[in-house]
Amino acid sequence: MKILLIEICNYIDYPTGGHLSFARNMLKAFGNDLVLVGSSTDDTPVGTWTQRKIDDVRFDYFSVGNRAKSSKQPLIPARLRSFFSVRKYRRLILQHEYDFIFIQTPEVLFALPKRVLSRCILRMPGVENPLKLSRYRMIRFFQGWYDRIFFRVLRNVPAILATADEREIDWFVERSNGMISRENLIQYPTRYDSHTYYVRERAESKRKLEIPDSLIVVTTVGRLAQFKGWQLMLDAFEVFRRTHTNAVFYYIGDGEEQSKIEEYICKKKLSDTVRLIGRQLPFTISDYLNASDLFVMGSFKEGWATTLVEACACGVPCVVTDFSSSEMIVDGKNGYVVKSRNAELFARKMGDALQIPRQEVIVFNKKYADLSVQNMRRSLAVCFQQKVY
């Protein structure tokens, strides 16, 4: 089967985030059974089918636009640019042979003609209205308008993979006011690469990263953006250090609020203990996770958070806020879920999580082994055959 995968990224390293991670996992699972539509950050031709080699595999590739790598907030929202780019080239894109189309973003779905929607599968990384937490404040006023268009288009799609917990999925169906059937939604958690994210010796990982063994290592991975809850995590870490003076906090990622976060770190006098180490390669992220005593996330909303799955795969105790994939964390077993955005409580749960024996966390998290990318092809093939064929 040939899968037309449309994701406006370069399928290598830009833009970072869960969409790119899932797309790269698709590449590992399906190889050149995929036909790729994306963007280019190099000299890949735009507006024409070409051949492109990614990770030693050659793909049929169509770039809808050239993008400059930047972590700054663009003047024109990326979602809007993606919609117009795909719409501009959709006739050429759909000329290629394919069995079905795989999409992760509603704006791509909106850009396709109605006649092909019955051959589409949409994966939703979270079921929240994407305009609700938009970086562009004016756009938030169009939430209701967006929902009306989205559900009208979505009812023509035979399969929807929802990367969210059951509670959020049921709420999504209710929000559709009868336009979407629960039978059309399949809960589909994020996958991780078990060849990269797996349990290693913590002391060895610390030595590799030149982190003194005496330090308590707290890590988070994610975009430097308001909705990721960076202020709560920093406030909680400040409280945590009152009783754990040998703690350091590694913040992996980049984003539009980096300068704002740096100013806040200085204001809190945390410059010696909080390290913003920027974007890192997957195997380096795995090293930091394995060197960590704690993994934290303060997000307001998530789908099935990729970085949380990867932290669990590395056997790290996790303290997280109550977003939709927080059901992965069971209090006292592999970490804690903090249901209020209270820095004092979050810090107290960080201390409690340190008391959970690491080996017990590792054993408990083995139940997530089926979420590895190595099982992805089989699980997705079942969805495709049941819903599209």
Q: Which residues, 6 or more positions from 96, have their beta carbon under 8 angstroms from its beta carbon?
A: 4, 35, 49, 60, 62
The torsion of the CA quartet 193, 198, 202, 207, rounded to 10 degrees, works out to: -50
- Taking the C-alpha atoms of residue 327 and residue 174, their distance in angstroms, rounded to an integer, is 21
Question: Can you tell me the distance from the alpha carbon of 274 to that of 268, in angstroms, rounded to the nearest whole number?
Answer: 10
Other residues' Cβ atoms within 10 Å of the Cβ of residue 273: 18
Residues 6+ apart with CB under 8 A from 358: 202, 315, 317
Tokens of 152: 């009208």
Is the dihedral angle over the CA atoms 25, 29, 30, 31 positive or is it negative? positive
Q: What is the pLDDT along the chain (389 residues), one digit of tens a residue?
A: 899 999 999 999 988 878 898 999 899 989 999 999 999 999 999 999 999 999 999 999 999 999 888 767 666 778 889 999 999 999 999 999 999 999 999 999 999 999 999 999 999 887 887 777 676 677 777 787 888 889 999 999 988 998 887 888 888 999 998 899 888 888 888 888 889 999 999 999 999 999 999 999 999 999 898 989 999 999 999 999 999 999 999 999 998 899 999 999 999 999 999 999 998 989 999 999 999 999 999 998 876 788 999 999 999 999 999 886 667 899 999 999 999 999 999 999 999 999 999 999 999 998 887 788 878 888 787 777 665 54
Residue 192's DSSP bridge partners are 372
- 3-class secondary structure, 164: coil
Instruction: Give the count of beta carbons closer than 10 Å to the beta carbon of residue 174.
Output: 11
| Alpha-helical segments (H) within 55-165 | 78-93, 106-111, 143-154
Contacts 24+ apart (CB under 8 A), 315-318: 315/199, 315/290, 315/358, 315/361, 315/362, 315/365, 316/219, 316/289, 316/290, 316/292, 316/361, 317/293, 317/353, 317/354, 317/356, 317/358, 317/361, 318/294, 318/353
Predicted TM-score (pTM) of this structure: 0.74
- Give me the domains of the chain, ranges plus CATH numbers: 3-191+372-387 (3.40.50.2000), 202-371 (3.40.50.2000)
CA distance 193 to 202: 19
In this structure, which amino acid lies at residue 201? E
What does the alpha-carbon distance between residue 171 and residue 162 come to, in Å, rounded to a whole number? 12
d(CA 343, CA 237): 8
